[in-house]
């Protein structure tokens, strides 16, 4: 499937890189964001001469789009790259856009009648509240989840080891658990928060919390938040993380960011094999600039026997919709719903999560 919006957004980011931090560079970045966030393809807009009506789109962007659509590439961009002396930097940036989807591509994928289903999706298992670096209180998040048709959600504020993200002390975690109990009592059988934590994976592959602390949570997401630009192989680190007792989900496994960094380098086949053996779910993080893991990696993890979690990594209620990005990647990877923990009944989810201490 060709994603023209993603291609065009990338070309505009090439122009922004060449322009630097001046007004032109800012304008190209604005245009790239506009294209990547469009929920429809640029092709009919360009052909109908209405593309320039999109906020942020100017004459040069329109010309680049026409070249891309009619010639398969943009002479304007390639000429600018050649003359800039920054061809190596542009090539490096282009490698940081592989395996991403634009909003238009996601809408097209979700319009298909294929699993996994948006309608049967039961709940999101990575999100953040005011208890760490999120913007919303628990009650507001519960209402937003109910509005999306969820029956449950996993609250996974950051652990104390990630102070930069407002990680919770264990005393704060105990307070949050009491607050979660109150919310669950209010909604009774309509909606339930599971008590989770997003723990940080240290450089040596251990988790930044003690075992007796981790046992106070119903499930544990372990995620890398450091050493994400290193060129060294980190297979041992990631194998160590999925091997640790209690870990249920490997969160945004590579730690990549669109057009910014490639993330952790590892022998992912080896990581996925260990995760499959221990029944640790591989997350597809739907945050638009993460999309981690992407559909090609997810398909390989599926082949190697992995379970999955499709999550938004939301830090505000509006970001709960990021899970659509995760579902789109899962569809491209052809992951069946039975292999995705977000589709399981609560009893099965809790049995699986508690079993992480014995596997």
Predicted local confidence at residue 129, as pLDDT: 97
Smallest CA-to-CA distance from 250 within 215, 181, 298 is with 298
Q: How confident is the model at residue 166 (pLDDT cuts 50, 70, 90)?
A: confident
Average pLDDT over every residue of 182-199: 96
User: What pLDDT score was predicted for residue 163?
Assistant: 84
Q: In what side-by-side order are the strands of the sheet with 281-285?
A: 123-124, 152-155, 192-200, 219-223, 249-250, 281-285, 308-311
The residue-averaged pLDDT of 250-255 equals: 98
Residue-wise pLDDT for 70-126, tens only, equals: 999 999 999 999 999 999 999 999 999 999 999 999 999 999 999 999 999 999 999
Average pLDDT over residues 233-241: 98
pLDDT given for residue 165 in this prediction: 81
Confidence of residue 131 (pLDDT cuts 50, 70, 90): very high
Say which residue the tokens 């282009």 belong to.
94
Please provide the average confidence, as pLDDT, over all residues in the chain.
Answer: 96
- Each domain of the chain, given as residue ranges in start order, spans 4-95, 119-357
For the chain, percent of residues with pLDDT exceeding 90: 96
DSSP character at residue 257: B
Confidence of residue 290 (pLDDT cuts 50, 70, 90): very high
pLDDT of residue 317: 98
> What is the structure's pLDDT at 189?
87
Q: What is the four-CA torsion angle of 206, 211, 215, 219, rounded to 10 degrees?
A: 0
Q: Residues 222-236: what's their mean pLDDT? A: 96
pLDDT at residue 327, as a whole number: 98
DSSP assignments along 289-308, one per residue: TT-BS-HHHHHHHHHTT--E
The per-type count for the chain, helices as H runs and strands as E runs, is 15, 7
pLDDT at 209 (0 to 100)? 95
Closest by Cα among 2, 21, 1, 24 to 73: 2
- Residue 314: both structure tokens together: 């939301």
Q: What is the enclosing helix (H) or strand (E) of 230?
A: none
User: Does position 22 have pLDDT exceeding 90, yes or no?
Assistant: no
Q: With bands split at pLDDT 50, 70 and 90, how would you rate the model's confidence at 312?
A: very high
CA distances, 343 to each of 77, 123, 219 (Å): 44, 8, 16
Class (C level, CATH) for 4-95: mainly alpha
Q: What is the pLDDT, as a whole number, of residue 34?
A: 96
- Decide: residue 112, CB within 10 A, 0-12 exposed, 13-18 middle, 19+ buried: exposed
Query: Left (φ > 0), alpha (ψ -120 to 50) or beta: where does 263 sit?
Result: left
Using the predicted structure, report yes or no on whether residue 1 has a pLDDT greater than 80. Answer: no
- The class that CATH gives domain 119-357 is alpha beta
Which of 170, 179, 178 lies closest to 197 in space, CA to CA? 170
- The yes-or-no verdict on residue 280 having pLDDT over 90 is yes
């Amino acid at each position: 499937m060709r994603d023209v919006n993603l291609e065009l957004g990338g070309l505009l980011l090439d122009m922004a890189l060449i322009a630097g931090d001046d007004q032109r560079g800012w304008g190209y970045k604005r245009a790239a964001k506009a294209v990547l966030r469009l929920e429809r393809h640029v092709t009919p807009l360009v052909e109908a001469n209405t593309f320039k009506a999109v906020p942020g789109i100017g004459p040069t962007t329109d010309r680049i789009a026409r070249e891309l659509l009619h010639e398969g590439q943009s002479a304007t961009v390639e000429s600018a790259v050649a003359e800039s002396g920054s061809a190596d930097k542009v090539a490096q940036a282009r490698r940081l856009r592989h395996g991403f989807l634009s909003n238009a591509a996601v809408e097209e994928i979700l319009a298909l009648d294929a699993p996994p289903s948006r309608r049967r999706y039961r709940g999101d298992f990575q999100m953040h509240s005011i208890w760490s670096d999120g913007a919303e209180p628990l009650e507001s998040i519960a209402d937003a989840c109910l509005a999306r048709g969820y029956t449950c959600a996993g609250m996974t504020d950051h652990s104390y080891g990630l102070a930069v993200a407002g990680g919770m002390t264990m005393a704060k975690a105990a307070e949050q658990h009491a607050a979660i109990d109150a919310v669950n009592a209010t909604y009774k059988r309509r909606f339930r928060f599971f008590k989770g934590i997003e723990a940080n994976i240290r450089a040596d592959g251990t988790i930044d919390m003690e075992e007796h602390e981790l046992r106070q949570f119903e499930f544990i997401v372990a995620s890398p938040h450091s050493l994400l630009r290193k060129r060294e192989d980190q297979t041992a680190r990631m194998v160590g993380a999925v091997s640790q007792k209690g870990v249920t989900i490997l969160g945004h496994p590579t730690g990549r960011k669109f057009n910014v960094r490639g993330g952790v380098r590892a022998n992912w086949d080896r990581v996925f094999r260990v995760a499959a053996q221990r029944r640790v779910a591989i997350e597809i993080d739907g945050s638009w600039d993460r999309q981690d893991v992407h559909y090609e990696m997810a398909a390989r993890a599926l082949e190697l026997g992995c379970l999955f979690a499709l999550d938004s990594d939301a830090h505000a209620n509006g970001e709960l919709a990021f899970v659509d990005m995760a579902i789109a990647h899962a569809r491209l990877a052809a992951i069946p719903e039975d292999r995705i923990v977000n589709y399981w009944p609560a009893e099965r989810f809790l049995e699986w999560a508690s079993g992480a201490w014995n596997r």
